[in-house]
Structure 1
Amino acid sequence: MEVRQAKQEELEALIKIEQICFPPAEAATVEDMRKRFNVFQENFIVAVEEGKVVGFINGCVTDKPELPDALYHDTALHNPEGAYQTVFGLNVLPQYRKQGIAEQLVSHLIKLSKERGKTGIVLTCKEHLVHYYQKFGFKHLGVSASSHGGSKWNDMLLIFD
């Protein structure tokens, strides 16, 4: 398994994976995915198995330890010098799940964010994933104000030591 920054020629595969892994109301649109990739490609980390992209993690960088819905759609809010890496999505194709790939992607993003001098990582997740992110050191801050995709989300924050 190779975990690394995504390449331009992998964008279409990432778009397909996003559409497979999230319900239509929550998945990024093709247009949003393209805009995000063009603005912060360095924050798209892929897992590659035998030459095939099987998962990825991505998000922008912001100044505040929060993930308002506006960040999902307005790439102008991305601040590469910001203190907090966000996670918009952690995606692994269904047939590759339960093999530790998501864990490798999260761990890689944590390491990379530390190397880049970030203060921490912020994300939102559904209730059943709170415990999953807590094992990486994320703190559950409660129910999020987010209404992304019409779902209920939980705010999670990891501050680096």
Structure 2
Amino acid sequence: MKITPVKMTDLPQLMAIEKAGFSAAEAGSEAVYRDRIERLPETFLVAREAAVVLGFIVGPAVPARFIEDEMFTKTPTNLDHGGHQLVFTLAVSPLARHQKIGSQLLTALEQVARKAQRKSVSLTCLERLIPFYESNGYQNQGVAASSHAGETWYNLEKTLE
């Protein structure tokens, strides 16, 4: 398995993984993912085995410490350096789960963030996923302000400084 930057040709596989991992209300659309591929090439990483996408991680590097709901509809532009690395999505194909691919993608994005001198990596997740992120060194910062998909989300953060 290799972790590489995303390519536009990955889009059909990304959408299949997105739809398998998230409810219709939670999932990003093809247009949103096309925009993310174009706007976030440095912070959109794909785990692949040859031409098969096993999973992916994507999010912008911005001044804000935590995700704000409007960022899901209007993709922010990455800062050149500094700020905070956010994770909009971490998703692994159902066929490749339980192989630590999600953890490897988190580590790879953290390395990108460290090189760019980000202060932290943060994300929002559902309560059932908190133990996974805590096992990867993230700390629960409490309930997020997000009302995305009508769910209760939690802010998880890993300080890089």
With the shorter chain as reference, the TM-score category is over 0.9
Q: Work out whether 1:108 is the aligned partner of 2:108.
A: yes
Instruction: Please give the secondary structure, in 2, of the residue aligned with 1:16.
Output: helix
**1:127-146 → structure 2 map (5 Å cutoff):** 127-146=127-146
Question: In the comparison of the two structures, how many residue pairs are matched?
Answer: 160
Q: Work out whether 1:80 is the aligned partner of 2:58.
A: no
| Contact 2:48 2:55 survives alignment (8 Å) | yes
CA distance in 2, matches of 1:50, 1:103: 20
Q: List runs of 5+ in structure 1 lacking aligned partners.
A: none
Instruction: Please give the secondary structure, in 2, of the residue aligned with 1:45.
Output: strand
Q: What TM-score does the superposition give when structure 1 sets the normalisation length?
A: 0.93
Following superposition, the deviation at residue 136 of structure 1 comes to 2.3
1:93-118 deviation per Cα after TM superposition (whole angstroms, max 9, x unaligned) = 11110011111111111111111211
Q: List runs of 5+ in structure 2 lacking aligned partners.
A: none
CA distance in 1, matches of 2:160, 2:96: 29
Partner of 1:92: 92
CA distance in 2, matches of 1:22, 1:94: 12
Partner of 2:122: 122
| Contact 1:47 1:55 survives alignment (8 Å) | yes
Partner of 1:48: 48
Following superposition, the deviation at residue 8 of structure 1 comes to 2.3
Partner of 1:36: 36
Following superposition, the deviation at residue 7 of structure 1 comes to 1.6
Change (3 A) 1:43 1:79: closer
Instruction: Please give the secondary structure, in 2, of the residue aligned with 1:121.
Output: strand
CA distance in 2, matches of 1:141, 1:37: 29
CA distance in 2, matches of 1:145, 1:153: 8
Instruction: Please give the secondary structure, in 2, of the residue aligned with 1:67.
Output: coil
CA RMSD of aligned residues (A): 1.3
Greater mean alpha carbon deviation, residues 9-18 or residues 110-119: 9-18
Letter in 1 for 2:40: F
Letter in 2 for 1:62: V
Following superposition, the deviation at residue 88 of structure 1 comes to 0.6
Following superposition, the deviation at residue 38 of structure 1 comes to 1.2
Following superposition, the deviation at residue 21 of structure 1 comes to 1.4
CA distance in 2, matches of 1:14, 1:56: 7
Instruction: Please give the secondary structure, in 2, of the residue aligned with 1:99.
Output: coil
| Contact 1:63 1:79 survives alignment (8 Å) | no
Letter in 2 for 1:103: S
Partner of 1:5: 5
CA distance in 2, matches of 1:28, 1:103: 22
